[in-house]
Amino acid sequence: MTSESEIAKHLVSLFPIRRSITGDGNRETLAYLGEITPLEVVEVPSGTEVFDWVVPQEWRATEAWIEDADGHRWVDFRDNPLHVVNYSIAVDLTIGWEELEKNLFVHPELPDAIPYRTSYYQKSWGFCLTQQQREQMAGARGPFRVVIDSEHFDGSLSYGEILLPGESTREILISSYICHPHMANDGVSGMLVTALLARSLAAMPSRKWSYRIIFVPETIGAITYCHRNSSAIKELAAGLEITTVGGPGPFGLKQSWNGTHWINDLLRNVLDENTAPWKEYPFDIHGADERQFSSQAFRVNVATVSKDRYYEYPEYHTSADNLDLVTPAQLRQSLELYLRVINKMEELRFFRNKQPNCEVMMSKHDLYPKFGGAIKPIPGAPSSLSVALWLLFYLDGNTPLSSISTWTGIPVDALEDALDQLVSRGIVEEVLA
Amino acid sequence: MTSESEIAKHLVSLFPIRRSITGDGNRETLAYLGEITPLEVVEVPSGTEVFDWVVPQEWRATEAWIEDADGHRWVDFRDNPLHVVNYSIAVDLTIGWEELEKNLFVHPELPDAIPYRTSYYQKSWGFCLTQQQREQMAGARGPFRVVIDSEHFDGSLSYGEILLPGESTREILISSYICHPHMANDGVSGMLVTALLARSLAAMPSRKWSYRIIFVPETIGAITYCHRNSSAIKELAAGLEITTVGGPGPFGLKQSWNGTHWINDLLRNVLDENTAPWKEYPFDIHGADERQFSSQAFRVNVATVSKDRYYEYPEYHTSADNLDLVTPAQLRQSLELYLRVINKMEELRFFRNKQPNCEVMMSKHDLYPKFGGAIKPIPGAPSSLSVALWLLFYLDGNTPLSSISTWTGIPVDALEDALDQLVSRGIVEEVLA
Amino acid sequence: MTSESEIAKHLVSLFPIRRSITGDGNRETLAYLGEITPLEVVEVPSGTEVFDWVVPQEWRATEAWIEDADGHRWVDFRDNPLHVVNYSIAVDLTIGWEELEKNLFVHPELPDAIPYRTSYYQKSWGFCLTQQQREQMAGARGPFRVVIDSEHFDGSLSYGEILLPGESTREILISSYICHPHMANDGVSGMLVTALLARSLAAMPSRKWSYRIIFVPETIGAITYCHRNSSAIKELAAGLEITTVGGPGPFGLKQSWNGTHWINDLLRNVLDENTAPWKEYPFDIHGADERQFSSQAFRVNVATVSKDRYYEYPEYHTSADNLDLVTPAQLRQSLELYLRVINKMEELRFFRNKQPNCEVMMSKHDLYPKFGGAIKPIPGAPSSLSVALWLLFYLDGNTPLSSISTWTGIPVDALEDALDQLVSRGIVEEVLA
């Protein structure tokens, strides 16, 4: 199991990297994740059309600051990359407070936090700062010198991909995003848990499912990925979007678009095995990249278990989403939970009663009490024979155990025990997922 | 908007016309309605076979009265056409009270009202009168002279039809009946609201739907119409049966046969916009001509909004269903409601997200806030961005907004606002109904 | 109607026959039942493969007893065939109490009853006895002489079959089992009611349905039958498994696997006509031969009405399930109930409104009140006209009355009355089941 000290090291290393939807910070991030577990980095040139979108130019900023007429520098993005609106155009202006003010963003509720703002697709510029900074600067002597030394240039969008083949060619998607700079829960936590999870998956001696694990800039990266891999995405069995998994709060399940899909049942089961309370959210068109995978052309069932979910924790999208908020211990809880999810998914099997005609001869397989005649179902506690008979009644190659559990009231564990016996005796056979 | 004084004039003009399932009264009625809005009158000859039925002969009555031995005329249909059973055969009899009594009908609950009775398909005769008339006549000196000067003759059944083409060839049926004599709510109200509604529809500069508006004698007229237009009826998108819309009571919605069809949602929405309470009735095989349009071969979803629905108001099918009960103001309320229904239907659109692959790039279309990062859904009041995203998720060319409203809890109005934006930007396209 | 004295005679005759899953006792049983009503006996050779099973060898036992060292015979299967475990291998041993004890079975709850145990598919031996017998024998002087003179030999499995053709080629299965020795409720009652029912069915001048009536050893016999008749079984319209129908307790309905199938509605209706309370059990993979007919390859809806159902009465699978428990009067109640079931099934008709276009002209068929105008539905008590109209709305050749009853709330009886009128007038026509 991954140690907290290892997690702490990765958190500290990944946190300060200056990420965006493109650029060297993303390449640095992918390189770092690639040391945790091997991944392929794919570069998609600026200008590539991807469905309704176009891969944007790269953005590189080297300076971004505001000084008053006395030469006092009030804001400098070297202190925190959040200070500059991501993808700001270059400016070098000397302007009064009224004009400057229009391009300043503070957080409405957290006076000491720098908010996170972007302007990827509009040529614009701006600074983000704390309320205190803004108030004090308002009292300074203008005009103000405003410098953003940035450039937009043809380059590429970078994403990472890991394909882990399994016994079945059917794939599970695990997706996380790499575009959020200098934030710990909504940023580092998702990509780090995903990479550690991928390392565990890669180390498994065998896998039932094939896994498709991707590290993409949110939205544009997922869309680019869907465009380049649309056939594979359409064939996905299910998916997990891993995001905001490092906070101190409770786990929360955001359902996939079809709330009755087995992925939701499976996640509920894992969460119920925890003693801690957890929340459940219906599918929503807001969220992370499950939005893309759930769109009309794909309709993949992608669910998320988060820990202090995006939108809900006060520090969301601010400089307060930092390493005070996200601890190695919390992140390890999420990693452990997702490992249990993977285990459950690996345990998830589709089976077929090989003998659909009448009953299987249970005694032939040592599944019937030696002396017949006394067999009657015991109320409340179904015998292993009963459980086996229900399985044989329902297992048609398409029905997951969770559905049979719902229909019969028999716990999944009990079904799994009986299933093992039926499989080991060759009565039912696994059908590849 | 139609004025109450105009409505009053039409009520007074239409009320006394002596209607039946055939005959000159119906032609006069259709001619009058044709002056409100142009309609084509179709004559179908007596004896024409229409499914299980035959178009009956015409019926014309010139005299119908009862006198006692002293020459006192107790009942005369010149006072009120309801006095004679509609389609009574001709008689000229001098008979005692016992024999006469068998052919007299009074209302069991309203002593002062003349009941409405018919004998369209059985050769029979009878008189309808008030309880008081009956009691007093019972004390008169017999024998009684009973004269009905009527004739049944080969002629035709008359109906009116208006076809209003729209952008789509898919049709909405609006049906009302013209056969009830001398009754205001169950008779004049339906045909008058229908004619005024048709006038408004005809005056619309453009229509999305095509409309098929018919004025038929109830049952036999609707069956005749279905027989002559069976292909068109089978292709109807939905329908409205307009009847008993002039009373003082609350509005009532009778659902179409498939309670989940959008026509019912749409009518519920319109009724909910009123502050006044309203009732809802499940589909019933009793009712008006929706019975024909809902039959196995057609299964059209035809719903009704009534105001003091047939069967339920005490004056139903009596002479008390008159211009004291039905006022221009009440009728105008119904007209306004149906105009709102038409508006809602015209607003009802079927749309398709032209970009089913991943998300549409909202910022490209100026549908995304200038500075990203702060986007999170606001509880209780979905942003226009949220609404648009839900629409893009669901709009597949077959899904009406009312369904999306039900699934998401977003009011239809809000969906419509967002839809306008998506359409105007070419992101979604309308699919013809 | 079958008299109680006749039933009493059959009970006394059938009860002592030494039945098993094969053998002369079964042939004797089938011969006796064949005198009640003609049936064909089919012999299937030992060793025949039937799906997952093999038809076993026959078993014949001529002696089975235990004596102590003093020559006192404590247990002898001549007293009761239940004393020997059915299909016991031959033994002739002189053994101590400790070894003997391992092969003795008593009933845990009924001290005076001999339990019923079998070992059809495991080569084994054993004795069943009362608790008292066991205690007293434990005090006797050993060693004990244990003799079972039995043989297993290639022979055949015997079953009985009656095919009664009806107007429709669609078949109803009636199945009962003939393998339980010396028990009255779980054994004789089912086969006897089935034979008497078959006699009544055979005597019917005409039948709507075809009937397939089988007398099989439980499980292996039903599986053998399904194997030899798989096409016919797949085409069955529905079925009844008749078992444990002679007890003093209430009737109980075990639903077929699809609880909404008409067979369940029909049985509920019959049971509701009784004043006596009855129980309902959901489908269960435990039970009798409905297990085979409900398996994946067949999925026939086979339901059971029992009287003191297997598993539930204390005397189940013991020597106390005898002619004190099962009385001719109780068995006659079950027979009468199943006769009512047959009548209901024979009455079950699938009808088609011959006039799907608009309404039927009810007055033409004398189904409309003479004078129209006063027709309105009466709340709570639908008029015969209403009932007829609902039937015409729904009867499409596939919809049984029980479904229409559920949808409209109109009792089946009222639907049947109206249906008779519609049929007699040629408005609807029967469609073969």
CATH of the domain at B205: 3.40.630.10
Q: How far is CA B88 from the centre of its chain?
A: 27
Distance (Å, rounded) from C-alpha C361 to C-alpha C367? 9
CA angle A197, A50, B386 (to 5 degrees): 75
Contact residues, C window 193-252, toward A, CB-based 8 Å cutoff: 219, 222-223, 226-227, 230
Distance (Å, rounded) from C-alpha A240 to C-alpha A166? 17
Which of A362, A235, A348, A355 is closest to A301 using CA atoms? A235
Number of A/B CB contacts below 8 angstroms equals: 90
Residue A381 sits at the chain C interface (C-beta within 8 Å): no
Domain extent, residue B131, equals 60-153
Residues B48 and B64 placed together within one structural domain of the fold: no
**In a domain? residue B158:** no
User: For A371, which of C119, C227, C297 is closest by C-beta distance?
Assistant: C119
Chain B residue with the nearest C-alpha to that of A105: B371
Q: Where are the beta strands (DSSP E) in B130-247?
A: 144-153, 156-164, 171-177, 210-216, 238-241
The reply to whether residue B358 touches residue A119, judged by beta carbons under 8 angstroms, is no
The reply to whether residue B124 touches residue C393, judged by beta carbons under 8 angstroms, is no
Residue B310 sits at the chain C interface (C-beta within 8 Å): yes
Residues B108 and B246 placed together within one structural domain of the fold: no
Give the list of residues 6+ apart from residue B396 with CB closer than 8 angstroms, or none.
A296, B352, B353, B356
Distance (Å, rounded) from C-alpha C101 to C-alpha C2? 47
User: For B373, which of A117, A226, A296 is closest by C-beta distance?
Assistant: A117
With beta carbons less than 8 A apart as the criterion, state whether B401 and B349 touch.
Answer: yes
Last residue of a domain, one of C314, C347, C380: C347
Residues A34 and A83 placed together within one structural domain of the fold: no
The HSE-up count of residue A429 (CA atoms within 13 Å, CB side) is: 6
Where residue C65 sits, what CATH number does that domain have? 3.50.30.90
Kind and range of the H or E run holding C280 = strand C278-281
Residue C48 sits at the chain A interface (C-beta within 8 Å): no
Q: How confident is the model at residue C370 (pLDDT cuts 50, 70, 90)?
A: low
The reply to whether residue A358 touches residue C105, judged by beta carbons under 8 angstroms, is no
Q: How far does B356 lie from chain C, in Å, by closest CA?
A: 39
Q: Where are the beta strands (DSSP E) in C324-420?
A: 350-353
Residues A239 and A307 placed together within one structural domain of the fold: yes
Which pLDDT value is given to residue A210?
96
**In a domain? residue A159:** no
B319 contact residues in C (CB cutoff 8 A): none
**In a domain? residue A158:** no
Residues B254 and B319 placed together within one structural domain of the fold: yes
Residue B376 sits at the chain A interface (C-beta within 8 Å): yes
Tell me which of C371, C383, C387, C398 to substitute to probe the interface with B (most B C-beta atoms closer than 10 Å): C371
With beta carbons less than 8 A apart as the criterion, state whether A131 and A107 touch.
Answer: yes
Residue B59 sits at the chain C interface (C-beta within 8 Å): no
Residue C81 sits at the chain A interface (C-beta within 8 Å): no
Q: How far does A398 lie from chain C, in Å, by closest CA?
A: 13
Inform me whether the pLDDT recorded for C377 exceeds 60: no
Inform me whether the pLDDT recorded for C55 exceeds 90: yes
Strands A171-177 and A210-216: parallel
Q: How far does A124 lie from chain B, in Å, by closest CA?
A: 9
Give the list of residues 6+ apart from residue B375 with CB closer than 8 angstroms, or none.
A286, B368, B369, B385
Which pLDDT value is given to residue A372?
67
A386 contact residues in C (CB cutoff 8 A): 285-286
Residues A244 and A381 placed together within one structural domain of the fold: no
Chain C residue with the nearest C-alpha to that of B53: C361
- The per-residue DSSP string of A257-275 comes to SSTTSHHHHHHHHHHHHSS
Q: What is the dihedral of CA C395, C399, C402, C405, to 10 degrees?
A: -40
- Please state the domain count of chain B: 3
Q: How far does B410 lie from chain C, in Å, by closest CA?
A: 32
Which pLDDT value is given to residue C401?
86
Last residue of a domain, one of C347, C379, C407: C347
Residue B258 sits at the chain C interface (C-beta within 8 Å): no
Q: How far does A230 lie from chain B, in Å, by closest CA?
A: 9
Which pLDDT value is given to residue C376?
60
CA angle B252, B254, B258 (to 5 degrees): 150
Chains that touch A (3 or more CB pairs under 8 A): B, C
Residues A120 and A246 placed together within one structural domain of the fold: no
Q: How confident is the model at residue C380 (pLDDT cuts 50, 70, 90)?
A: low
Distance (Å, rounded) from C-alpha B311 to C-alpha B316? 6
Structure tokens at C144: 């004990």
The reply to whether residue B296 touches residue C390, judged by beta carbons under 8 angstroms, is no
- Which segments of chain A have a pLDDT < 50? none
Please provide the size of chain C in residues: 433
Residues B52 and B73 placed together within one structural domain of the fold: no
The reply to whether residue C359 touches residue B117, judged by beta carbons under 8 angstroms, is no
Name beta bridge partners: A148.
A64, A91
The reply to whether residue B357 touches residue A285, judged by beta carbons under 8 angstroms, is no
Residues A361 and A384 placed together within one structural domain of the fold: yes
Work out the average pLDDT over C330-340.
Answer: 97
Chains that touch C (3 or more CB pairs under 8 A): A, B
The reply to whether residue C357 touches residue B121, judged by beta carbons under 8 angstroms, is no
**In a domain? residue B159:** no
The reply to whether residue A124 touches residue B376, judged by beta carbons under 8 angstroms, is no
Which pLDDT value is given to residue A115?
96
Distance (Å, rounded) from C-alpha C257 to C-alpha A347? 29
Residue B316 sits at the chain C interface (C-beta within 8 Å): yes
Residues C208 and C327 placed together within one structural domain of the fold: yes
With beta carbons less than 8 A apart as the criterion, state whether B318 and B253 touch.
Answer: no
The reply to whether residue B117 touches residue C371, judged by beta carbons under 8 angstroms, is yes
Chains that touch B (3 or more CB pairs under 8 A): A, C
Distance (Å, rounded) from C-alpha A37 to C-alpha A192? 11
Sheet containing C251-254: which strands, arranged edge to edge?
A: C40-45, C156-164, C210-216, C171-177, C238-241, C302-307, C251-254, C278-281
Q: How far does B387 lie from chain A, in Å, by closest CA?
A: 9
Which pLDDT value is given to residue B372?
67
B116 contact residues in C (CB cutoff 8 A): 373
**In a domain? residue A186:** yes
Structure tokens at B275: 């502050």
Inform me whether the pLDDT recorded for C383 exceeds 70: yes
**In a domain? residue C158:** no
Name beta bridge partners: B215.
B160, B176
Distance (Å, rounded) from C-alpha A110 to C-alpha C44? 85
**In a domain? residue A72:** yes
Chain C residue with the nearest C-alpha to that of B294: C358
Residues C115 and C171 placed together within one structural domain of the fold: no
Inform me whether the pLDDT recorded for C135 exceeds 80: yes
Structure tokens at A281: 């959210």
Which of A273, A274, A271, A269 is closest to A252 using CA atoms? A271
Instruction: Provide the residue-wise pLDDT of chain B in tens; the chain has 433 residues.
Output: 799 999 999 999 999 999 999 999 999 999 999 999 999 999 999 999 998 899 999 999 999 999 999 999 999 999 999 999 999 999 999 999 999 999 999 999 999 999 999 999 889 999 999 999 999 999 999 899 999 999 999 999 999 999 999 998 999 999 999 999 999 999 999 999 999 999 999 999 999 999 999 999 999 999 999 999 999 999 999 999 999 999 999 999 999 998 878 899 889 989 998 878 999 999 988 899 999 999 988 999 999 999 988 888 999 999 999 999 999 999 999 999 999 999 999 988 789 999 888 888 887 888 876 666 665 655 556 688 889 989 999 998 867 888 788 788 898 889 999 999 999 999 999 887 7
Chain C residue with the nearest C-alpha to that of B298: C357
**In a domain? residue A255:** yes
Residues A206 and A277 placed together within one structural domain of the fold: yes
Distance (Å, rounded) from C-alpha B272 to C-alpha B274? 5
Inform me whether the pLDDT recorded for C363 exceeds 80: no
User: For C357, which of B116, B118, B295 is closest by C-beta distance?
Assistant: B295
pLDDT 10s digits, C142-198: 899 999 999 999 999 999 999 999 998 999 999 999 999 999 999 999 999 999 999
Which pLDDT value is given to residue B406?
78
Residue B393 sits at the chain A interface (C-beta within 8 Å): yes
Share of chain A above pLDDT 70, in %: 96
Last residue of a domain, one of A296, A315, A347: A347
pLDDT 10s digits, C208-258: 999 999 999 999 999 999 999 999 999 999 999 999 999 999 999 999 998
pTM, full prediction:
0.54
